[in-house]
A and B are shown apart, each in its own frame.
Chain A
């Protein structure tokens, strides 16, 4: 099996195909600290792409409650367990985090889903360690999570608490997920028909419906379970990253690349999506003023989801600051402590870049900061807080300005009765 370089793992790994990299890569950052599971993203995707007969169980975008929720049910627990079986007590990280684009989180010393397949699966043609979820695991995306419903027979009224069973007394956080459009896609690796391909212009992973024969190898292989089988067409389908919008062919934007439906619908403003430049070796090319590059490689507040699977996912998450660290380290790797420390004590630039989230449906290619005066200095729960009236300017792919955001101090207007009372 060929060897490829995985910068998230800080090492080479085996993969069924030679490495091929797009010139730009579809990528996104989700700030989970803000997500309240309103499911606007879920419904935006559903109402755009998966509303047809045979797609009832399909949620290309979903939000699930961690640690006990998941769609399909237990997707991460099941693949983590299979990897643990393949490499008992060996799924650990070593080395030291590097201040480089290759191996920023140290070196993963365990086994990826591709490497585990070589040692645990038969026949030899099996390429990826995975599992096929049962039908009932797909059927109810948020079953037994936290959505309150009404009492039986009572219409238009929610139950005030919603529980009948013992309630968890632990943390909550909501994990919003779409296809990660991985650099080393497991779905692509597993497809015996070569029906799945990665576009050279933007790294979006697509599934050719004309070539697919519904073997469901991609469904079995994707560790994030974002490839789904459609019974009435007997083919599999997956997130297409709203590629007409990303291409900039929507007339609304005049040729500017546009963010996907799930990103644009996010009322909690947790999402930012873009296209990052890829270097010849597969790492992100240095692009200091790209907001995604800044969040992932400079501020290091955004981390890949389960990087140990080995697919080099292109979805990144700012981890929730209140959640126990061992759980987060398992989910996002060893960069968690630094990410949360940076997020809780943000630099002036990070505070500015966070203002770019969801201010426009255009893809931000570059940002600039015009520094302004300090408007506040104080403390909040023991932390020093400084606020500056900085203006952050976002530019699109064409180089044109999209918007700018700044701070406005409150203006108090005297009433007519007291207009001249100074």
Chain B
């Protein structure tokens, strides 16, 4: 977004052309983001923030086109499947530690 206001008599002024789209594509995109981040272990509030914040323009575009209610439904559907489990990562000890390993760090 340019900082200055548009000047209609400026021949160098940016001209915007809108590409068309379909609701089905937007819905699929919204579902993809919700499923991916639910799999990563993000919470409902964190995933919804992804859609509500303008910085994340892809997800935010879906939120603006589909509305809050549809996005909430998509997120809840995804969390109903992927949110029921929690993945944990267990790091192996650093080189030189006794073998067999004793687990030194556990992440979730």
- Give me the interface of A with B, judged by CB distance under 8 Å: 33-34, 36-38, 65, 67-68, 144-149, 152, 158-174, 254-256, 269, 320-324, 354-355, 359-360, 375-376, 378, 380-381, 385, 387, 398, 400-410
Contacts and interface: CB of A to CB of B under 8 A. Distances in A.
Interface of B: 1-6, 14-21, 25-26, 28-29, 31-33, 35-37, 39-40, 50, 54-59, 61, 64-65, 77-78, 80-81, 84-92, 94-96, 101, 108
A391 B88 CA distance: 10
Most buried by B among A149, A165, A354: A165
A236 B81 CA distance: 50
Nearest to B88: A408
B57 A147 contact: yes
Across the A-B interface, give the 7 residue pairs with the lowest CB-CB distance, nearest first.
Answer: A165-B16, A170-B21, A146-B57, A322-B28, A169-B21, A172-B58, A254-B95
A405 B54 contact: no
A148 B2 CA distance: 10
A173 B29 CA distance: 9
Contacts, number: 151
B25 A322 contact: yes
Contact of B87 (A152, A160, A355, A378): A355
Contacts of A360: 91
A364 to B, nearest CB: 12
29 contacts: A34-B36, A38-B56, A146-B58, A148-B54, A148-B57, A152-B3, A152-B5, A158-B54, A158-B55, A164-B2, A166-B16, A169-B18, A170-B25, A174-B58, A254-B96, A256-B95, A321-B28, A321-B32, A322-B28, A323-B25, A354-B39, A376-B85, A380-B35, A398-B95, A403-B91, A404-B89, A405-B89, A407-B88, A409-B84
Nearest to A145: B57
A162 B89 contact: no
B89 A403 contact: yes
Given A148-B54, A381-B31, A381-B77, 14 more contacts: A34-B36, A34-B37, A36-B58, A149-B1, A162-B57, A167-B61, A170-B21, A171-B25, A172-B58, A269-B40, A322-B32, A403-B92, A405-B88, A409-B86
